[in-house]
Structure formats: C-alpha cells, structure tokens
Structure 1
Amino acid sequence: MVAGRKWAVCLTDNSTSPCSLDVPDPPGFSRASSEQDDSTLSRQKKEAESTWKAQKAWEVAQAPFKNLLMMGFMMWMAGSTVHLFSIGITFSALWQPISALQGVGKVFEPYKDRKVDLLAPKLLFIALNLGGLALGVWKLNTLGLLPTHASDWVSSLPPSQEVEYSGGGIPLY
C-alpha cells in the first residue's frame, strides 16, 4: 500500500510491489486522439447551440403573425359600430405592437451569439408588428375615430358630405 492513502487497488499480478500510479493505456487508445475528440465534441456542441438559437430566433420573429390573424378575426367579429367591445379590441390591436416594438432588444436577448445573425429575424419581427399596427389604424378609420377631414380639426368648417349611403333590408311593397 502507498503511504498516505486509506486504500489502493493494485492491477498488477505482483502483489509484493507497491501499486504504480502509471497505468499503461489500453491497446488502440491514444491520449492525443481523446483530446481532439473532446475539442471536436465541444465545437459540435457550440454549433448545435448556435443553430438552435437561430431557429428559436426565427420562431420568435414569426410569432406576431399568429397574433395578426387572431386580432384581425376579432376586429372583424367586433363589427364597424362604435361600442365598448370594438374600441377595446382596437386599442388592444394598437397597444400590443407598440409594446412589442419597444422591447425588440429584450425579446432577442437570449438568442444573442456571435455566430447567429439576428438582423433578419429582428426585421421580420418589426415588419409583422408594423403590420399589426397598420391593422389597428385601419380599424380606427373604419370606426370613424381617425380625424381624416379638415372639419375634424376646425369646428367652423362644414362636415364632409357622405358619398354613399346604404341601408339594410328588402323593401316590402
């Protein structure tokens, strides 16, 4: 037994000699190749991580598209009359893209990597949120809440004339 240790296992047949700390490598094993394998594995791991980050960044960038479809459906269901539900849906459609555009940097922070290019996902994210903002502004216009005529700003001007009028129902004669 080696002094200073509580126990030791000798792998040699000679039990009278103290155990040697230098155990020869098994046949076909090379320490240099194991170090290269470790570096290859770590490089592959880093490449897989950067690929995963790029994929997740694209998923986050495309997420506002689902919101656009849902918000468009909700605005269509709310109708074109001014009431509490349609105003709430419209301002929600305006607020969500504005708050998302303010936090673009924070949204893509977990996916920052020197190997991952985040410019294209960020641009797609911004474009889809601007589309959502345009959808909300369009709904404001259909509700008649946007000041689009000069008479909306100056009270002394007459209001604009209606170009078209439609009524519902079939006339009964």
Structure 2
Amino acid sequence: MRAMNIHEEGDESLLRTYRRLNDIRTQPLKSLPMTAFMMWMVGNDVSIFSIMFVGMAVISPLQTILGTNKAFDDFKEEADKDPGIRSAVTHSKLIFVGCCIASFTVALVKLHWMGLMPVNTIDWLDKTPPQYKEQSMGFFFS
C-alpha cells in the first residue's frame, strides 16, 4: 500500500499537466452562470443595454474559439515530447471549443427570446418575390 502513495517526479509533473489542462478546458463554462444570470436580469426588451450585453455574450465565445491555440500554447513543448499529452491537449481543445459553443448557444437563445433572430417566415418576407394574382372578368363571344 505504501508504495502506491509514492509518486515519481515525472508522475507529479504529468498529474500537474493534466490538472492544468482540465482547468483550461472548462474555463468557458465558469463564466456561464454569471452570463446567464445577467441575461435574465436585462430582460427581453430591446434596449441599448440589453443589445450591448447580448452582443458581448455573442462575441466573447467567438473570440475565445479563435484564441484556442493561444490558450493551449503552454503545453506545446510537453505535447511535442509525449504523445499522451498531445492526445490530451487535442481532447482538451475539443472540449474547450464545445464549451464555447455552449456559451454561444445561450446567447443565441437570448437573441431568439428578444425577437432578434430571424426564425419565422415573416422575417424573410422581403426576400421572396411577390406573387401576382390576376383576375379577369368579361364575356366570351363566339
């Protein structure tokens, strides 16, 4: 039993790396409860404050997705040395992007509740060509 509690220095480093990866990959979800609460607080009315807040809620996950490689730059050297860490970094990047997509989805739902998402037929009505109906009355002489 005692031998199982003793870790080598390499195992400790590997364990620290995995813990750091876990912290980074779930980072977008840590701000999600506060964002959801603030979206609830601004209401569904269309005003400058709600537009600014929802705009930031839409843009922030997109910027975070674009900065995914920058967030995981600390693990580049370790990933080049160890294929297990490389696999863990790739897996963590996918989870990171998935968490950002979840945050982005919450913002899109808020846009839908505010009535700013074009989801109904009437929203696209100006893009459809007009339908002309002809009506004629008269007599046919033979």
| TM-score normalised according to structure 2 size | 0.73
Matched, 1:134 2:98: no
Aligned to 1:89: 53
In the TM superposition, residue 122 of structure 1 has moved relative to its aligned partner by 1.6
Aligned to 1:70: 34
Q: Describe the shift of the 1:152–1:128 C-alpha distance in structure 2 as closer, same or farther (beyond 3 A).
A: same
- Mapping for residues 1-173 of structure 1, pairs under 5 Å: 44-112=8-76, 113=78, 114=82, 115-116=84-85, 117-155=88-126
Contact 1:56 1:111 in 2 (8 A): no
Letter in 2 for 1:64: P
In the TM superposition, residue 155 of structure 1 has moved relative to its aligned partner by 3.0
Letter in 1 for 2:107: G
Counterpart CA distance in 2 for 1:64 and 1:149 is: 31
Would you tell me which structure has more helix in proportion to its own residues? 2
Segments of 5+ residues of structure 2 without an aligned counterpart are 1-7, 129-142
In the TM superposition, residue 119 of structure 1 has moved relative to its aligned partner by 2.5
Contact 1:64 1:128 in 2 (8 A): yes
Letter in 1 for 2:110: K
In the TM superposition, residue 63 of structure 1 has moved relative to its aligned partner by 1.3
Higher relative contact order (CA 8 A, sep 6+): 2
Kindly name which structure, 1 or 2, has the bigger radius of gyration based on alpha carbons: 1
Aligned to 2:3: none
Segments of 5+ residues of structure 1 without an aligned counterpart are 1-43, 158-173
In the TM superposition, residue 77 of structure 1 has moved relative to its aligned partner by 0.4
Aligned-pair Cα RMSD in Å: 2.0
- Secondary structure of 2:126 counterpart: coil
| TM-score normalised according to structure 1 size | 0.61
Contact 1:54 1:111 in 2 (8 A): no
Counterpart CA distance in 1 for 2:92 and 2:100 is: 12
